[in-house]
Amino acid sequence: MTVPPDTETTGTPEASVAIESAPKEPARPVGLGVIGWLRWGWRTLTSMRTALILLFLFALGSVPGSIFPQRGVDPDKVAQYFANSPTEAKWLDRFQLFDVFTAPWYAAVYLLLFVSLAGCVLPRALSHVKEIRRKPPAAPRNLLRLPYGEAFEGGLTVEEAAAKLRRKRFRVVTGPDWVAAEKGYLRETGNLLFHVALLALLFAVGAGGLYGYRGNVLVVEGDGFANTVAAYDRFMPGQRVSAESLTPFSFTLKDFQASYVGSGEKMGQPLDYSAKLSVQDTPSSAPRDVDLKVNDPLDVNGTLTYLIGHGYAPTFKVTDGKGQVAFDGPVPCLVDDQATYTSECTIKVPDAQPTQLGFVARFLPSTVPNGNAWVSIFPAAVNPTVQIIGSFKGDLGLDSGQPQSVYVLDSDKLKPLGKMSAQPAAPLALGETRDLPDGAGKIQFTGVKEWITLQTTRDPGRLPALGAAAAAVLGLVLSLMIRRRRVWVRMTDRKVTVGGLTRTEGDSGAFSEEFAELVSLLRDSQDSPDSQAPQAGDRPAAAPVEPSTGPDEE
């Protein structure tokens, strides 16, 4: 604000612009009636100071969400936190610091903020509707006492002045010897648009959460997926989502390809991922080929499927002690090291006879010997090998009814096969077979497939949220860039005084320019002795004066 607050309303009281909402301390309740307290509470809640405090709290409350792992974002990290420092984690959990953005206290802050916002914006919207139609107030007595004022000699008439100001898109009212003009109503409109858009955004986000869902699934090359709740590894529905409402598409993963930088400092950095899918939008529609890439999800009627991650699924053939093939297929391995895609595999063979078998293995996509060990040096499967780290027999614990991770061997009832050697054996090359100790059978490394992880999302709130966000930006630009300003002109026998003021923050520099321009425009009338003054703006032809005060820029 250019003008210190105490000078900006110099002039008459009616000169103050009505858009101001002064930071008034809400009056304490008079007497102690419930109504009085409620009214006081409401006024306090919807006051600007409360809103500011809530705004700060909102920001502050988000901070722990970036410091501590969040269940909704990365549940594994939270579990790890619990494992590493249980007591601390328990306390953090007590304050819901692992679920900040869904915590009741966080919701309390933003709900209060938005109630405060609504309580402030709705009444303002109503008064703004009146404001838009309101005429600029009559000229104050002494225009030279306004923040901007200037006087000159000239034969300007009320009609001329009014016409000139109207042409500058001012809304104009005239009196016997004065003209009042105002401009910049869109500022307030923009401000309201912005705040209402924020409310709309909150609703869109909330509705998206209620009526949308998210699911994650891992698919190995050659396998398929059908969009049903049961097919997901992890399914997170909104409260209003039923199993039947899922879009019934399906697809097969035909091939996945990743390319990497082959040499130099960035060797091994991924360049491109591409998953070739054969998609059926409905069970009866013809399959279509889709090339799924990062940044380019599959869209089936608004249900989007994203390529999130990938890894290796070496295939194994396990023959048990009775000579029967007990397992033959891919085993998705967890990526241990992103730079080389060294992966950890767990092979469970529940069908093996006479006892179940389990293996822990390491998959090395580009194997090179390193001393008396082997390492992977590149993420692509250039020289894939599998190192069997542990072989077990016994009970895999799959029948206990307890859910079990496919990536972990439950070693309670398992015994190592043969003698554990300190050094893991040489890795199996592609196609190689190893006999198991104790006559338990043999295991063959038969091939390499890749897996991808996908996320499927349906969020009906996306587009409304986008619309609200766009409206918020538009409103913001209007409310920050447009100035609300008033100009008065008074004529008393060849003496013309012009006064102006603006209530807009910070850019009175621009207004003083505009004011100077207006003054020279008004000066510039035909019979004025001062017409040598700088001429700006259009030269007025004696335009007929419209009697009404039409709206200007709305």
**What are the CA-CA distances from residue 467 to residues 114, 327, 462, 472 (Å)?**
19, 53, 9, 9
Pick the closest to residue 439 from 317, 329, 319 (CA basis). Answer: 319
22 vs 30 by CB, closer to ligand HEM: 22
Q: Which two tokens stand for residue 351?
A: 């069908």
What is the three-class DSSP state of 107?
helix
Cβ neighbours, 10 Å, residue 13? 8
Partner in contact with 184, chosen from other proteins, ligand HEM, none, beta carbon below 5 to 8 Å by kind: none
398 vs 477 by CB, closer to ligand HEM: 477
The least CB distance from residue 188 to ligand HEM, in Å, is: 6
293 vs 413 by CB, closer to other proteins: 293
Cis check: omega of the bond before 287, within 30 degrees of 0: no
The least CB distance from residue 21 to ligand HEM, in Å, is: 5
User: For residues 354 and 322, is the Cβ–Cβ distance under 8 A?
Assistant: yes
Whole-angstrom distance, CA of residue 214 vs CA of residue 455? 7
Task: Name the phi and psi angles at 79, rounded to 5.
Answer: -60, -40
Whole-angstrom distance, CA of residue 176 vs CA of residue 101? 62
The least CB distance from residue 141 to other proteins, in Å, is: 15
Partner in contact with 59, chosen from other proteins, ligand HEM, none, beta carbon below 5 to 8 Å by kind: other proteins
DSSP H helical segments within 366-500, as ranges? 462-481
User: For residues 369 and 381, is the Cβ–Cβ distance under 8 A?
Assistant: no
Partner in contact with 370, chosen from ligand HEM, other proteins, none, beta carbon below 5 to 8 Å by kind: none
Q: Which two tokens stand for residue 139?
A: 């000229």
Q: Give, rounded to a whole angstrom, the gap between the first and last alpha carbons of the chain.
A: 25
349 vs 522 by CB, closer to other proteins: 522
70 vs 479 by CB, closer to ligand HEM: 479
Partner in contact with 66, chosen from ligand HEM, other proteins, none, beta carbon below 5 to 8 Å by kind: other proteins
Whole-angstrom distance, CA of residue 434 vs CA of residue 315? 14
What residue has token string 């049903």? Answer: 228
Partner in contact with 267, chosen from ligand HEM, other proteins, none, beta carbon below 5 to 8 Å by kind: none
The least CB distance from residue 530 to other proteins, in Å, is: 13
The least CB distance from residue 476 to other proteins, in Å, is: 5
User: For residues 10 and 3, is the Cβ–Cβ distance under 8 A?
Assistant: no
505 vs 538 by CB, closer to other proteins: 505
446 vs 457 by CB, closer to other proteins: 457
Distant-in-sequence, close-in-space partners of 241: CB < 8 Å, separation ≥ 6: 211, 212, 213
The least CB distance from residue 58 to other proteins, in Å, is: 6
The least CB distance from residue 469 to ligand HEM, in Å, is: 12
Partner in contact with 270, chosen from other proteins, ligand HEM, none, beta carbon below 5 to 8 Å by kind: other proteins
Pick the closest to residue 236 from 379, 72, 356, 380 (CA basis). Answer: 72
Partner in contact with 289, chosen from other proteins, ligand HEM, none, beta carbon below 5 to 8 Å by kind: none
User: How many residues does the structure list for the chain?
Assistant: 554
Q: Which two tokens stand for residue 347?
A: 């092979």
Q: Which residue type, as a one-letter code, is found at position 407? A: Y
Pick the closest to residue 201 from 476, 402, 467, 485 (CA basis). Answer: 467
**What are the CA-CA distances from residue 548 to residues 163, 180, 321 (Å)?**
12, 13, 101
Residues near ligand HEM (CB under 6 A) are: 19, 21, 48, 51, 55, 113, 116-117, 120, 191, 195, 198, 476, 479-480, 505
Partner in contact with 372, chosen from other proteins, ligand HEM, none, beta carbon below 5 to 8 Å by kind: none
The least CB distance from residue 20 to other proteins, in Å, is: 9
Partner in contact with 19, chosen from ligand HEM, other proteins, none, beta carbon below 5 to 8 Å by kind: ligand HEM
Partner in contact with 97, chosen from other proteins, ligand HEM, none, beta carbon below 5 to 8 Å by kind: none
186 vs 352 by CB, closer to ligand HEM: 186
User: For residues 174 and 163, is the Cβ–Cβ distance under 8 A?
Assistant: no
The least CB distance from residue 134 to ligand HEM, in Å, is: 16
89 vs 468 by CB, closer to other proteins: 468
Q: What is the 3-state secondary structure (H, E, C) of 239-259?
A: CCCCHHHCCCCEEEEEEEEEE
What residue has token string 């004025």? Answer: 528
Partner in contact with 529, chosen from other proteins, ligand HEM, none, beta carbon below 5 to 8 Å by kind: none
Task: Name the phi and psi angles at 487, rounded to 5.
Answer: -135, 135
179 vs 197 by CB, closer to ligand HEM: 197
Q: Which residue type, as a one-letter code, is found at position 16? A: S
Partner in contact with 527, chosen from ligand HEM, other proteins, none, beta carbon below 5 to 8 Å by kind: none
116 vs 346 by CB, closer to ligand HEM: 116
18 vs 261 by CB, closer to other proteins: 261
DSSP 8-state class, residue 1: -
Partner in contact with 325, chosen from ligand HEM, other proteins, none, beta carbon below 5 to 8 Å by kind: none
The least CB distance from residue 271 to other proteins, in Å, is: 6
The least CB distance from residue 523 to other proteins, in Å, is: 11
Cis check: omega of the bond before 330, within 30 degrees of 0: no
The least CB distance from residue 178 to other proteins, in Å, is: 18
Q: Which two tokens stand for residue 164?
A: 């000139």
The least CB distance from residue 54 to ligand HEM, in Å, is: 6
209 vs 394 by CB, closer to other proteins: 209
User: For residues 514 and 9, is the Cβ–Cβ distance under 8 A?
Assistant: no
